Protein backbone atom coordinates (compact mmCIF):
# COMPACT_ATOMS: atom_id res chain seq x y z
CA UNK A 1 0.00 0.00 0.00
CA UNK A 2 2.96 2.35 0.37
CA UNK A 3 3.38 4.67 -2.58
CA UNK A 4 6.17 7.21 -2.71
CA UNK A 5 5.11 10.70 -3.72
CA UNK A 6 7.05 11.50 -6.87
CA UNK A 7 5.81 15.07 -7.08
CA UNK A 8 4.16 17.61 -4.87
CA UNK A 9 0.90 17.48 -6.78
CA UNK A 10 -2.30 17.65 -4.72
CA UNK A 11 -2.97 13.99 -5.59
CA UNK A 12 0.44 12.83 -4.34
CA UNK A 13 0.22 14.96 -1.20
CA UNK A 14 -3.27 13.61 -0.45
CA UNK A 15 -1.98 10.06 -0.97
CA UNK A 16 0.92 10.66 1.41
CA UNK A 17 -1.49 11.96 4.10
CA UNK A 18 -3.80 8.95 3.67
CA UNK A 19 -0.92 6.48 3.64
CA UNK A 20 0.54 7.88 6.86
CA UNK A 21 -2.85 7.68 8.59
CA UNK A 22 -3.45 4.15 7.31
CA UNK A 23 -0.07 3.01 8.60
CA UNK A 24 -0.76 4.54 12.05
CA UNK A 25 -4.18 2.87 12.09
CA UNK A 26 -2.72 -0.52 11.13
CA UNK A 27 0.00 -0.18 13.76
CA UNK A 28 -2.57 0.58 16.48
CA UNK A 29 -4.56 -2.55 15.69
CA UNK A 30 -1.51 -4.74 15.32
CA UNK A 31 -0.46 -3.98 18.88
CA UNK A 32 -3.82 -3.83 20.66
CA UNK A 33 -4.73 -6.38 23.31
CA UNK A 34 -8.51 -6.54 23.11
CA UNK A 35 -8.72 -8.31 26.47
CA UNK A 36 -7.45 -5.17 28.22
CA UNK A 37 -8.91 -2.61 25.80
CA UNK A 38 -10.47 0.48 27.36
CA UNK A 39 -13.28 2.66 26.01
CA UNK A 40 -10.76 5.51 25.67
CA UNK A 41 -8.44 3.34 23.55
CA UNK A 42 -11.37 2.27 21.39
CA UNK A 43 -12.45 5.90 20.93
CA UNK A 44 -8.95 6.86 19.79
CA UNK A 45 -8.96 4.06 17.20
CA UNK A 46 -12.44 5.05 16.02
CA UNK A 47 -11.34 8.67 15.52
CA UNK A 48 -8.27 7.51 13.60
CA UNK A 49 -10.43 5.19 11.48
CA UNK A 50 -12.69 8.13 10.61
CA UNK A 51 -9.72 10.32 9.74
CA UNK A 52 -8.22 7.54 7.60
CA UNK A 53 -11.51 7.17 5.72
CA UNK A 54 -11.77 10.94 5.24
CA UNK A 55 -8.24 11.11 3.83
CA UNK A 56 -8.96 8.14 1.53
CA UNK A 57 -12.06 9.90 0.19
CA UNK A 58 -10.11 13.14 -0.30
CA UNK A 59 -7.37 11.33 -2.23
CA UNK A 60 -9.88 9.34 -4.28
CA UNK A 61 -11.77 12.48 -5.29
CA UNK A 62 -8.54 14.21 -6.35
CA UNK A 63 -7.25 11.10 -8.15
CA UNK A 64 -10.46 10.55 -10.11
CA UNK A 65 -10.66 14.21 -11.13
CA UNK A 66 -6.96 14.40 -12.08
CA UNK A 67 -6.52 14.47 -15.85
CA UNK A 68 -2.88 13.39 -15.78
CA UNK A 69 -1.60 10.02 -16.94
CA UNK A 70 -2.33 7.16 -14.57
CA UNK A 71 -5.65 8.37 -13.28
CA UNK A 72 -8.72 6.18 -13.55
The tens-digit pLDDT sequence of the chain (72 residues) is: 455 555 688 888 888 889 988 898 888 878 778 788 899 988 988 998 899 999 999 999 988 886 555 544
Tell me if the pTM is above 0.75: no
In a domain? residue 24: yes
In a domain, 25, yes or no: yes
The pLDDT score that the predictor gives to residue 69 is 52
2 exposed, middle or buried (CB, 10 Å; 0-12, 13-18, 19+)? exposed
pLDDT score of 32: 78
- Check if the beta carbon of residue 25 is closer than 8 Å to that of residue 52: yes
**Residue 71 domain-assigned?**
no
> How many domains is the chain built from?
1
Residue-level pLDDT at 42: 87
- Looking at the domain assignment, is residue 14 inside a domain? yes
Domain with 53 in it: 10-30+37-65
Q: What is the largest CA-CA distance in the chain?
A: 48
Amino acid sequence: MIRLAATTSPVDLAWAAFDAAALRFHYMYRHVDLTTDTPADSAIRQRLAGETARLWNEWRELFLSDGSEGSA
